[in-house]
Amino acid sequence: MNAKPFHLNRTLLILIILLVVIAIWKPVALIYGFQRGGLYALIALPLALILGIIGILNLGHGDFLTLAMYIGYLLFENLKIDPLLSMVPLFFIFLALGMGIYMITIKYVLKSGELNQLILTFGISMVIIQMAELIWTTRPRNLYVSYASSSVSFLDFSVGTYEFLYPALAIGVLIALRLFLKKTKLGQAATAVGQNPRGAEIVGIDTNRVYFTVFSISIGILGIAAGVMLPRTSIFPLTGSPYTLKSFALVAMAGLGDLNGILIGGITLGIAEAVIQSIPGYGGWSDLVFFGVLLAVILTRAYRRSES
């Protein structure tokens, strides 16, 4: 995992100033963006894990999320499992799915180069999208639970309270992941593999086992994210797709291996998106925030590298 691309302190300072300005200018956008940003971070964390440790960019990332939401929807419709509760079974179902996908596909492209890896995960992405279309068609599904639509009023505006779960869960997952990487033997091995896979092998670390674990846990986390998103998200075959690139944007922005940076970045971009969305007539451009940041980050890095 690479060094941090910027100093956190300076970034934090700029961030705080910006936040204060936005808080005065558009308080609703600030809160809304904070909630959404938490969700972005929650979804980006597992992508960062797979990219940072296995070195594979999983282009099917957002589509696993879609699939998890469909399964959560089925659990709710058929077994009356509350979406928030369904996070638990979804985590385990997707942990198992991650294991399976790793064993039958990822394992075989570990050494076959970036091109093949990208094409493979792109293929997985397409299979999930088309499968969703085949089974559930493009008709959106929505799921209603009363607690998800509660809101709280400040001064003269109101914001949804349910969405505060997003940043809360993101922080929870972040803490759990950091503990895993720092305190468990497998987690330490994963950190070592992320920094130097060859070095890890010569000190006796079974890299294949690390990759297997990291991949399955990451896909499992998407199950958790899907559970929390269910009550407030319309589900269709492309629901999750945009999150792949958005997650990558966050990882690129934070730098590989900087999990905290993903949370900060996610909230920042979430707020930026919400602010643009709140400007009448220009809301549609908010989608460009992530892609713009992604391109800017990648291009400045490439430029700097060619300079030095």
Partner 1 sequence: MLKIEKLNVKYGKIQVIWDLSMSIGNNEAVGIFGPNGAGKTTLINTMLGFLKPESGRIAFEDNSLIGLKTHEIARRGISVVPQERELFPFMTVEENLRLGAAYIPHALNKVDENLDLVFGIFPILKERLKQQAGTLSGGQQRMLAVGRALMGSPKLLILDEPSLGLQPSLVIELFQKLKEIKRLGVSVLLTEQNVKQGLKVIDRGYVLENGRIVMEETSQKLASSPHIQKSYLGV
Partner 2 sequence: MKNRTGLIIAVVGVLSVMISLPYYSGAYFLSVTMTILLNMTLAVSWDMMLRTGQLSFGIAGFFGIGSYVSIVAVSNFGVNNVVSIFLAAAFVAVIALALAFAILKLRGIYFAITTLALTMVFSVTIRNMPTLTGGSGGKVLYNTIFNGDTTKIYWLILTMALFTILLSIVFEKTRVHYAISSIRNDEVVAKSSGINVFKYLTVLFVITAMIQGVAGAIYTQQYGFAYPETAFSLDFLMLPMAMALVGGIYSTWGSVIGSVVLGLVAEYLRLVMPHGSKIIYGIIVILIILFLPKGIYGTLESKLRTTRNGARK
- In the complex, the residues that contact partner 2 under the rule CB under 8 A are 57, 105, 108-109, 112, 114-116, 118-120, 122-131, 133-135, 137, 242, 245, 248-249, 284-285, 287-288, 291-292, 294-295, 298-299, 301-303, 305-306
- Cβ atoms of 83 and 145 within 8 Å: the answer is yes
> Which positions ≥6 away from 10 have C-beta within 8 Å?
none
135 binds partner 1 (CB under 8 A): no
Taking CB under 8 A as the criterion, the residue among 105, 161, 195, 286 binding partner 1 is 195
Which residues between 3 and 42 bind partner 1 (CB under 8 A)?
Answer: 3
Q: Which residue is it, tokens 């558009």?
A: 26
| H helix intervals, 147-196 | 165-183, 185-195
Tokens of 126: 């397409």
**For partner 2, the closer CB: 227 or 266:** 266
Candidates 48-56, 140-148, 189-197, 231-239: pick the segment binding partner 1 (CB under 8 A). 189-197
> Cα dihedral sign for 73, 77, 82, 85?
negative
In the chain, how long is the greatest CA-to-CA distance? 62
Q: By rule CB under 8 A, what string of x and - marks binding of each residue 239-258 to partner 1?
A: ------------------x-
Minimum CB–partner distance for residue 53 and partner 1 (Å): 13
- The residue behind tokens 């093949």 is 116
Under rule CB under 8 A, residue 133 binds partner 1: no
d(CA 157, CA 152): 9
Instruction: Please report how close the Cβ of residue 253 comes to partner 2 at its closest, in angstroms.
Output: 13
Q: How far is the CB of 200 from partner 1 (least distance, A)?
A: 8
Strands annotated E in the chain: 151-154, 157-160
- To the nearest whole angstrom, how small is the minimum distance from the Cβ of residue 161 to partner 2? 31
Residue 118 partner contact from partner 1, partner 2, none using kind-dependent CB cut-offs of 5 to 8 Å: partner 2
Q: Decide if residue 207 touches partner 1 (CB under 8 A).
A: yes
**In whole angstroms, what is the distance from residue 287 CA to residue 290 CA?**
7
What is the C-alpha to C-alpha distance for residues 263 and 145, in angstroms, rounded to an integer?
28
Q: Would you count residue 111 as binding partner 1 (CB under 8 A)?
A: no
Length of the chain counted residue by residue: 308
* Interface positions with partner 1 (CB under 8 A): 1, 3, 185, 188-189, 191-192, 195-196, 198-208, 257
